Structure 1
């Protein structure tokens, strides 16, 4: 399996994570998976930032559990995981988001809808992305092995950018 060290420059902060796939995977499939993962990671980190501000204002005793859930989620989604060779899982990111929403409803005594937790400006930003490696834009209709070779024990650094519209 090829390990991709993914860097996603974001308006708020640069995010990084590790992703693993076969060298024979189509670039379009990899881009879709990376876009979804980057979107979840950005959504989770954004959610944590917004709720930290709310927790500071609330001051309730139940906020301790919410703070702990926010700490765990931020630690899981942080770019420090790359240094420890830990991969992000879309399932785990979704579970952290659900857990935070539950704890938030309990701690702040408001339903998740009232807190606008589902809204995220980054959700559609990662839908149409482009992969870059070694200064080259990777064509979506090629396979990853067309660029990096057939060695499945490679580790490469790729950068995600938004795809340009050709209109």
Structure 2
């Protein structure tokens, strides 16, 4: 399996400043076969980046909203937020740990439950799951070694057939406002 170290720089200037990756570099590790299609890898990386960004944004928004309460239930919410942020942080790359979309979704569900318990409001009141950032991650382009990877090729066309390769990819998001 090929290990992809995905590093995306700070968000584009057109992006809102409240997004979690505004001014911050996002990183994670992903594992796939060398024979995988670039389009499939890009879709998976876009979805994973979207989940990571949504989770980190959710944690920041809830921390800002729940700064005051000191109840035991708020302590459970705080613990859930800490665990989610630790899992989605770029520090995981240093420990050679891969992100899982399933685990990211589980952290979001756990936060929703703790939020409803701690703040005694339905989770819908917090707009916990944002779909606006997902559209950005659907328009992803992958770059490696200064080259854009064509979506109609396979990953092995660029990195070779060795399955014990680790490469650093830099995703960029297509900006629809430029023609």
* Range class of TM-score, shorter chain: over 0.9
Q: Which runs of 5 or more structure 2 residues have no equivalent in the other structure?
A: 12-21
Most deviating of 112-121 and 152-161? 112-121
| In the alignment, structure 1 residue 148 sits paired with structure 2 residue 159 | yes
5 Å-filtered alignment, 1:123-138, equals 123-138=134-149
User: Which shows bigger deviation, 123-132 or 54-63?
Assistant: 54-63
Are 1:62 and 1:106, in contact at CA under 8 Å, matched by a contact in 2?
yes
What is the TM-score with the length of structure 1 in the denominator?
0.95
Residues matched between the structures, number: 167
Calculate the TM-score normalised by the size of structure 2.
0.89
The CA deviation at 1:120 is 4.8
Q: 2:43 aligns with which of 26, 29, 32?
A: 32
Residues 54 and 129, structure 2, Cα contact 8 Å, conserved in 1: no
Classify 1:50/1:120 alpha carbon distance in 2 versus 1 (closer, same or farther; 3 Å): farther
How many Å apart are 1:164 and its aligned residue? 5.0
Q: Deviations over 1:96-125 (max 9, x none)?
A: 000001100110111011112123542211
| Runs of 4+ displaced beyond 6 Å | none
Give the gaps of 5 or more residues in structure 1: none
Q: Is the 8 A contact 1:8 1:38 kept in 2?
A: no
Query: Which residue matches 1:70?
Result: 81
